[in-house]
Amino acid sequence: MQRVLAVGLSILLSGCGLGSMIIKSESVSFGDTIEDTTNKLLVTNVLRARDKAPLHFSDIPVIRETITQSASLSFLNPMGPRLGSTQRDILTGVGGLIMTPSFDINHLHSKEFISGITSAIDPKIVKYWLDRGLDRRIVLLLFFSAVEITETLAENGPVNTIRITNSPREAVDVIKARAQAFDGPDALRCDTQSDFERYLKLLNTLRTFFANSYKERRLLAGGLKSRTDADGRVLQALTTLDSSKVQVVYDKDNVTYSLYSLSSEPKVAFCFYDDAQAAGRPSRNLEVIESGPASASKKNNCFQSVVDIGPEDVAKRAIVPSSILFPGAAAVKEASGFCGIYNRFTGTSQAAAAKPTEYPKLELKLYIRSVGEIFQFLGDLLHYQDEVRKHVDANPRFNLKLNSPITFGYCGDHPEPGCDDIFLRLDGDPCNARFTLAYRDQEYRVANFDPPGGASRQGLQCRPDPTPRKDHTLEILSVLHQLIGLNKFATDVKSTPSVHVLP
């Protein structure tokens, strides 16, 4: 009898251990399933954007699984003849395991979600990705839809501005109309290009692009002196105010106090170092880039955590910039007014660089996209890459230097680190595919960030690829995943109601 109890106890203990192992294994499997499914849903929406089809955002909020274990033990000791009996004790064990998985799928189509993905992204989100180490070229391509260059010729004007859109789809017609590769001077190249090609060159020009967070401080009262006990009590009361909104500063030289109000939310300034400016003070060779709502653009925004805001410069605001439109791609003998401003900013023209206090002055303004616009941009980029590849393959005699897929530069002209890294592609190497999906009877592959080594490729019997370039497609999908998550609301996460049927 003791043997029977020992065997039964061992079965029960093994059942508990088996349940723990199953839960651990199933949890990891569910995590892999959510990752693979979410990635494929993101890529499917990018492909829909390429086809100009409606986007459908879905989410898997919950995966459930019911695990049922059962075990039974029976012992049989039949009564037989006392002598010469051939019967033995019989021990029978029965076990069972039933797993029933289920999951929910939510279609994200609420008013709040649509309003969120169609609104401009907060500059703080862009700064977050820059601080995380996301390549500045990815940030400039992904988050911004256009750039505006403003040139002020004198203190009282005139002020001219040009706008360059980051739109790959609109560049296809300009590229297809070219009869041959451009072989003229660089100052005339701008007039033969599309806006997207000009934006790519501008992207490589801003090599020191970064973001700085700061608060605005406005003077409420200055020169306050504590002469009486009443004034002292007032200043003591002021020091008890919320330090995140009000600041009291003591001037020990004049023995006075100043009262400032601080902005409730920190602001973000996008800046870059201008090598053409003379070195010296930190603000001398820094240039601030306007973005989002109109705000005071000062170089102090680039390196200070608190920036003083003074009276608005009415004279400067009174000058209305004149927009200069691009006349159209054509072979010219002299740069157009549009390309003249562009060449002066990118350093293509041979004009002498102006000193910080001299004119003309060039300023930059970026326009931030929404999450929905990012999906449309990626879809347009896929269309651009497909059309460029077809055009280059069909016209090899033109000797066109166009990259498909888009890279971070032309290594032949500017052999800087990472210039041949890939921005986005869905026809990755099958030997290095992170995941594969089928869309409209065609197979697409997203590769890992790093290519496999030579030894690994030989083991997989893959074609040789001596270029150790990185593929940023997976990294871009991780950005999209978090941007979608930021726009989800509690009302979007719905659960399947339970139904109980009673006799």
Per DSSP, the residues of 297-353 read --GGGGT-SEEEE----HHHHH-PPEE-----S---SS--HHHHHHHHHHT-S-PPP
Q: Which of 13-27, 146-160, 412-426 has the highest mean pLDDT?
A: 146-160
Q: What value does the mean pLDDT take over residues 388-402? A: 83
| Strand 322-323 versus strand 159-165 pairing type | parallel
CB 161, CB 148: distance < 8 Å: yes
**Overall domain count for the chain:** 1
Confidence check: pLDDT of 20 > 50: yes
- The rounded distance, in Å, linking the Cα atoms of 285 and 303 is 12
Question: Does some domain include residue 123?
Answer: no
The answer to whether residue 296 sits within a structural domain is no
Partners of 93 in the β-ladder: 73
DSSP string, 417-440: TTTT-BS--SB--GGGEEEEEEET
- Selected residue with higher pLDDT from 415 and 465: 415
Work out the average pLDDT over 215-231: 71
Most confident of 59-68, 71-80, 158-167, 344-353: 158-167
**What is the pLDDT, as a whole number, of residue 370?**
95
Domain assignment of residue 55, yes or no: yes
pLDDT confidence band for 92 (50 / 70 / 90): low
In whole angstroms, what separates CA 207 from the centre of its chain?
Answer: 18
Asked whether the CA dihedral 80, 85, 91, 92 is positive or negative, the reply is negative
Chain-centroid distance of CA 31 in Å reads 23
* Pair of tokens at residue 432: 């290095």
When the pLDDT of each residue in the chain is averaged and rounded to a whole number, the result is 78
d(CA 7, CA 116): 61
Token code pair at residue 159: 């002020």
In this structure, of 49-53, 248-252, 315-319, the range with the lowest mean pLDDT score is: 315-319
Q: Does 399 map to a domain? A: no
Answer yes or no: is 460 within a domain. no
Q: Say if residues 38 and 44 touch (Cβ distance below 8 Å).
A: no
Contact between residue 379 and residue 168 where contact means Cβ atoms under 8 Å apart? no
Cβ atoms 145, 165 nearer than 8 A: yes
Q: What per-residue confidence (pLDDT) applies to 352? A: 46
Q: For residue 395, with 0-12 CB atoms within 10 Å meaning exposed, 13-18 middle and 19 or more buried, which class applies?
A: middle
- Rounded distance, CA 271 to CA 301, Å? 9
In a domain, residue 212? The reply is no
Asked whether the bond before 360 is cis by omega within 30 degrees of 0, the reply is yes
- Listed range (79-88, 219-228, 241-250, 472-481) with the worst mean pLDDT: 79-88
Q: Kindly state whether residue 121 falls inside one of the protein's structural domains.
A: no
- Longest C-alpha distance within the chain, in Å? 125
Domain ranges, residue 54: 2-75+91-104
pLDDT-derived band at 49, boundaries 50, 70, 90: very high
- Is the pLDDT at 403 greater than 80? The verdict is yes
| 417-462 pLDDT per residue, tens | 788 899 999 988 788 888 999 999 999 999 888 877 655 555 555 6
> How many CB atoms are closer than 10 A to CB 125?
17
Q: Is the pLDDT of residue 215 over 60?
A: yes
Q: Residue 46: inside a domain, yes or no? A: yes
Query: Is the CA virtual torsion 378, 383, 384, 386 positive or negative?
Result: positive
CA dihedral (282, 283, 287, 290) positive or negative: positive
